Amino acid sequence: MLQGMQGADRFCRISAAMTAKTHNTRGLGRRLAGQAPAPDYFRGRKSELGRGFCLIAKALRFLAAALFVTLAGSAAAQTSVEEAERSIVRVVVILETPEGRMLYGSGSGFVVAPNLIVTNAHVVAPARQRPEYGVAIVPPRGDGLLPARIIQYSPLSELALLEYRGGPDLAPVTISTVEPHAGDGVVALGFPDVDYQGATGADLLRPTPPSRTSGQIASLRDRAPTGDPIPTINHQAVISSGSSGGPLLDECGRVIGVNSWHVSGADTRETRGVATRASQLLQFLDEAGVTPTLSDERCLSLPERIEAERAQTISALQAQNEELASKLETADRLTRIAVVILIGGTLALFVAVCVLGAVVLSRRRGHIFGGEAHPPQTTPHPEPFETPRRGRMGVVAVVGGAAIAAILIVAAGIALLRALQGGEEQIAAAPRDFSGSISCTLDREASQRAQGVADMSFSASGALCVNERTLYAPLEDGRFRRVIVLGESRALDVLTINPETGEFRRERYPLSDRDFAAANQAVAETGAGRGCAGDGASEAVARRNETLMRFAQGEPSQRLVWRCEPRN
């Protein structure tokens, strides 16, 4: 039996059951940008013994970290779920009457960005339809009831977004972008009515921690229990009326769905919870202009975490070995240059000494032979070892040439040394690779209308493929771009990445009904899909971008700027 998950206790009037409607699921346009850090190159000769001790010390630190993570792995996952519990709120609908305020119904919700709550659309539908109904939230701690208002409402996707003010500081949850699988462990958080049998209306307005149940994913479906094409997760965690809008978490405490229905077999008492998948949630938030905290890392079991940490340790040691080998190679080149300088200078000096000695000996020998072959002259002879003027000039020329040669050799060696160091500095300042896990921080000063927008993270690979499914096309100035048409928001998003600076920019342009229809037609004609593989994929995205950019007229209604960098 299908039941709408609008909770209430026996002291409160229950609203009529509502059927959730939806539309065909569209893929989520992912955010991206970032650069990998430039390598730290060797800038001078160091002691090889000192580098060896440094490598050993770093290896010991890596091994100690791996041992710590191995011993504390399961506790870390449990702590993540407990942290997520602090972001779960009760969502209540209040009826204003001449006799006073009455609690009409309640459900669950969770924080996705500062002061923003996600819940099910049917939980707050009465407040959407009639002015005498209002919405409020009850956080898990604090003073109690906080007024809220609906800022985004989608009965097609069975989701609603609320904004509240004041109260305790509630941290946003993390949403997983990893596709779930049957058999994965899950945790459901919320405020089911079965936990509040015998409670009064006042009890429901008092801050309390959420209820927690666990189970496994039974199956993944492309349709909701209502028959609508909503991607869903059928799971074994126990939920009931009042759990509507609460998150379905993986065992690491990250949101993989929003609990929206529970069903029971026609001939059995077996029940299943049904949650809207995170892909539908992310599309809803994207159209609302909200950027949640994302995680692209798969939740690992304890044996998998041990193996992952072991592989990470080995990879880190290999990277350090490669770094050390590179530094040793640089030191070897410096040593060779020094040897060349030393040998060149020594040879130049040796040649100069030999030439000088040969000249002196030849002069002395010529003087002796001249005395034996001719009779004594009446003219006075020069003193012993006295060199004629022309001889002295020759010696000076030879010695000077040798000295100049030595100086040139030394200067050449110094120039080579400086050129090598300058090349290393140039390499160190080169742009970083744009790949791997990227973390982005919102630049609120550069952004416009950034209310409710938070930091984000994603993965990038290859020729700017985001989260392994969204391809960006290169521009002539070195940036990359992806243009997306949004459905319910009837807007155009222009996403631009600058790998050189790490800037990721999103500009949103509203579309008229005519332009919206024309933009959708243009998308269908270009044939550019979500995948990153295939021949001509980048060219197809570029053609799509060029076609859609003509609809980006005037100033954008929203501009968001993130500063991105790779996560180590």
* The pairing of beta strand 456-461 with beta strand 436-442: antiparallel
Higher pLDDT, residue 370 or 542: 542
| Among 38-42, 215-219, 388-392, 470-474, the range of highest mean pLDDT | 215-219
User: Of the candidates 2, 257, 261, which has an alpha carbon nearest to the alpha carbon of residue 110?
Assistant: 257
- pLDDT at residue 174 above 80? yes
Give the pLDDT confidence score for residue 160 in this predicted structure.
95
What average pLDDT does this structure show over 428-451? 74
Give the pLDDT confidence score for residue 198 in this predicted structure.
67
Q: What is the DSSP letter of 562?
A: E
- pLDDT at residue 178 above 70? yes
Give the pLDDT confidence score for residue 385 in this predicted structure.
47
> Phi, psi at residue 437, to the nearest 5°?
-80, 130
pLDDT band at residue 234 using 50, 70 and 90 as cut-offs: very high
Q: Which two tokens stand for residue 131?
A: 């002015």
For 182, 183, 250, 260, 561, the CA distances from 272, given in Å and listed in that order, are 14, 14, 17, 11, 42
- pLDDT at residue 156 above 60? yes
pTM of the predicted protein model = 0.49
Percent with pLDDT over 70 in the chain: 71
Amino acid at 105: G
Q: Are 118 and 245 in contact (CB under 8 A)?
A: yes
Give the pLDDT confidence score for residue 20 in this predicted structure.
34
On whether the 3-30+83-299 domain is CATH 1.10.460.10, my answer is no
Positive or negative CA dihedral for 143, 144, 147, 152? positive
Give the pLDDT confidence score for residue 169 in this predicted structure.
86
Q: Are 114 and 171 in contact (CB under 8 A)?
A: no
Higher pLDDT, residue 386 or 325: 325
Domain boundaries, the chain: 3-30+83-299, 328-374+382-428, 437-566
Higher pLDDT, residue 296 or 442: 442
Identify the burial level of 35 via C-beta atoms within 10 angstroms of its C-beta, where 0-12 means exposed, 13-18 middle and 19 or more buried.
Answer: buried
Q: Give the model confidence (pLDDT) of 369-426 as tens digits.
A: 555 545 555 555 555 545 455 555 665 666 666 667 667 776 776 666 666 555 444 3
The average confidence (pLDDT) of the chain is 76
Q: Are 510 and 557 in contact (CB under 8 A)?
A: yes
